[in-house]
Amino acid sequence: MGRGRTVCLLGVLVIVSAFVLPVTRVSASHWCSPLRVAISPTTGAAGAVTPFAITVTNGIGDSLDISEISVRFSWETNSWSWGTMTIAGYGSDTNTFSKTFASAPGDYYVEITVTGQAVGDYFSGTCGPFNGSLRALADSDGDGVPNATDNCPSVSNPSQADTDHNGVGDACDSSPVGTAGGGIVLLLAIVGIVVMIVVAVVVVARRKPSVPPTSPPMYGTPYQPPYQAPYQPPQQPPQPPQQPLP
Ligand SMILES: [Ca+2]
Ligand SMILES: [Ca+2]
């Protein structure tokens, strides 16, 4: 009797499973293949504290609940938890954390695994590892700026300040605000210009005729009428002597 009931119960479970499990049980890895994981930057100064950003892009229409992002840099043995994410369908999200880059220049790699669950999944799954290449660049002065781009590769100057914009940082520039003596040269040039202006004014003043301030303005040579001799009346011929009347 009891054995018969057990058989019946198992039969019912088999029938129910046949209808239920194929519907609700979805492969936990169906979102792994279209998943994209990227890390940046891929280069940095050796030994420098660097803000690394990991971006996860969902490749399916269902949203993802990422419960863990595990990251391991090849210059370390431990893995790091890079936080969690909730990513909409075909959306993406980025988590950023600061890490110290490898202390020795060279090529390294990073491994990233992503654990999560898509909407409709019955179980969570883990995707990866996703691998990325990283390169640590030489930084002789340890200021966080690689030698190749450092304007003072042998003197620490994290700010890279370059006041005169000559490509040499203030920290190692013998004249950080300009050419040596540049101020004196500029002063002498200004003095020379002033002297030339003063001389020009004096010369012009000397050439200008002095005119009494009360004299009326003169315009050209005053008019001179042509010379005329004084009037001389014509001389009368001598008159004969008058004869006495008879
Ligand atoms: Ca440097
Ligand atoms: Ca400079």
Q: Which ligand is nearest to the CA of 152?
A: 1
The environment of the single-atom ion ligand 1, i.e. residues with CB closer than 5 A, is 139, 141, 143, 145, 150
Q: How far is the CA of 182 from the centre of ligand 2 (A)?
A: 14
Ligand that comes closest to the CA of residue 153: 1
pLDDT in tens, 218-246: 555 656 767 777 777 667 766 666 666 65
Cα distance between residue 87 and residue 65, in whole Å: 7
Of 34, 115, 37, whose CA–CA distance to 70 is shortest? 115
CA of 161 to the centre of ligand 2 (A): 8
The span from the CA of 131 to the CA of 10, in Å, is: 47
pTM over 0.75? The answer is no
Question: Distance from the CA of 139 to the center of ligand 1, in angstroms?
Answer: 5
pLDDT band at 195 (very low <50, low <70, confident <90, very high): confident
DSSP symbol at 83? -
pLDDT digits (tens, 9 = 90+) for 6-54: 544 544 444 444 444 444 445 568 999 999 999 999 999 999 999 999 9
